[in-house]
Amino acid sequence: MTPSTYSKAIDQIKAIPQKWQGHVLEFVRVLTGLPLDEAGLDQKVTVKGTYRDGTVELSESIHRRDGQSVIVTFLEDSDEVEDVDDLAWSELTDIIDDCKMSTGIKDLAAQHDHYIHGTPKREV
C-alpha cells in the first residue's frame, strides 16, 4: 500500500461512526488473519470448529482473555454454514448500507478525486 493510499484508508476509517469502528477492526482482523490487540478484545468473534469427544476443537488459533465467556452453537449441517470470510463481508456490506447517504451526484464514486480534491474529471 502506498503512503497516500494508506493515509486515505486511515482517514476513511476515522470517518466511520464510533459505533461501527469495532466491526471494521474485526473485519480487518479476519482479512489479515492477525490477532486482535487488547483494545479489540471486547468485540465478538466467530470461529468455526468441530465437536469431538466432549471437546470443541477450533479451526484456527484465537487470542482472547483467559476465562472469557463463550457461546457454543451446534450447527445441523456444516455445509450450510457460511465461511467466516463470508460473514465478515456480509457484516461489512451491512455497515456500508447503514452508513451510505444520497448525495445526488451520480458519478461520485468514479470521480471522487474531482469532488474531494478538485482534480479535473477523469474519462471513465
Query: What predicted TM-score, i.e. pTM, was given to this entire model?
Result: 0.29
Contact partners, residue 47, CB within 8 Å, separation at least 6: 58, 59, 60, 62, 84
Q: What is the pLDDT of residues 72-117, one digit of tens each?
A: 888 776 555 556 667 788 888 889 888 888 888 889 889 988 988 9
Of 28, 55, 56, nearest to 43 (Cα)? 28
**CA contacts within 13 A on the Cβ side of 7:** 3
Q: What is the pLDDT of residue 121?
A: 92
104, 13, 64, 60 alpha-carbon torsion, rounded to 10°: 70
Question: Running DSSP on this structure, what letter comes out for residue 106?
Answer: T
